[in-house]
Structure 1
């Protein structure tokens, strides 16, 4: 008697949960399979990201830097697993260094990009960068981790 193959269901990661893709389709990637998101899945992801965006936008620049540095610490703790999954130790080292670099810039960005604009008149004019919304990123496949962190 021939057994029926039990196929794995690949899922998305949206809002801290693992929902199935609306279409149920998958995309074959070298050495992996990933869920193929539909337009509805994308809308759900954007909606969840917008909800989370308010908390990130209201956080202080110092706090954002701490969050990014904590990400670098977690990557360092999982260094061996990341190196095995990616292109190796050198790529993981560069990705961790890049996240630490971004963490260092988080509380300095306003001073570098923002400015006080001198104007004639009894008022004060200044420019302050602030988060404005959700961004979708298409990251290159090679180098996988460094390409994702660098975008």
Structure 2
């Protein structure tokens, strides 16, 4: 289990560095929200960029900044870890998912939910970024059931 946690931390750090260092073309003036502080990048993605299953299951975290990195959607928020995990537990429960795996520590959490009726497994990876009090949220359909250690 320890190897999985470090693996997620390293991935989160690399993705955070990619987001911070990436140069994207400037967005049109009307689509850029005013920045609260100097040097703050505007979100480079939108809800429309998210896969349909994320939108259908309401898995875009409220008030999170959305980033598109390659073909993945990442969300960044400064909400407490407990608030984030509670949101996903409640939201996925509304869609008949049950929490099957929960690995939590101060630097993040890995949650896995299963909807047996449709043989679906969804993973929510929440990692603390190395700067400020921000968390990076990655969600995807799982190919590995971490509780059982095999493909679903």
Which of the two has greater strand per residue? 2
TM-score for both structures, normalised by structure 1: 0.29
Larger Rg: 1
